[in-house]
Chains A and B, each alone.
Chain A
Amino acid sequence: DQQVKQNSPSLSVQEGRISILNCDYTNSMFDYFLWYKKYPAEGPTFLISISSIKDKNEDGRFTVFLNKSAKHLSLHIVPSQPGDSAVYFCAASALTGTASKLTFGTGTRLQVTL
């Protein structure tokens, strides 16, 4: 039962254009969503997050949008740069006690071409 889904395994975008990565979830108990960037053989690097009480959060070139009614979130990267090429994971959490367990999507491999 995949509670967090990233339906696009890969995405190719030209440098300077917008990259849009999508994520869907099924568990309405999730109250926080995060995006991580990951290179092969490295741990994920935190990019940006959003609380379920918000619908948008922006940090530099990265913006995350949340549509709670559709149980959908997206990460926009603009302008895209070659260094953005990596695998992007969407993650969701439901705070339990003092720690939150993260449920990860399957990842989307972004390739930014020159």
Chain B
Amino acid sequence: GAVVSQHPSWVICKSGTSVKIECRSLDFQATTMFWYRQFPKQSLMLMATSNEGSKATYEQGVEKDKFLINHASLTLSTLTVTSAHPEDSSFYICSAGKSYEETQYFGPGTRLLVL
């Protein structure tokens, strides 16, 4: 199998606070994980590629100081939304792939609401 989990599934926070989202590959090791963001009725937009043991690679237009990514182990990547604002409210999804395989397996997503 290829199971990816995310925690939390829902988070509501006040503007200005930071929120950490965890992504775990449960039954395989993932040297690379990906973080996506989806706005209502839109496609999934890749935010960054998380590489185990090295710095994340951010897509154009994504603020790396705002969306901190840490990939501390082969099964865990975290996304921290720093100083969250209402416009950061969105559905954040992570994915992981097995080395040299093209298929990515997605977590269930985390819905963030910033008040």
Q: Which residues of A contact B (CB under 8 A)?
A: 32, 34, 36, 41-46, 49, 51, 89, 93, 95, 98-107
CB atoms of A106 and B42 under 8 A apart: yes
> Out of A41, A98, A100, A107, which one reaches B104, CB within 8 Å?
A100
Q: Which residues of B contact A (CB under 8 A)?
A: 4, 6, 31-32, 34, 42-46, 49, 51, 91, 93, 95, 97, 99-100, 102-109, 111
Residues on B with beta carbons closer than 8 Å to the beta carbon of A36: 106
Residues on A with beta carbons closer than 8 Å to the beta carbon of B103: 34, 46, 49
Residues on B with beta carbons closer than 8 Å to the beta carbon of A41: 91, 109, 111
Q: Quick one: given A99-B32, A100-B97, are A46 and B105 in contact (CB under 8 Å)?
A: yes
> Out of B34, B108, B109, which one reaches A102, CB within 8 Å?
B34
CB atoms of A98 and B102 under 8 A apart: no
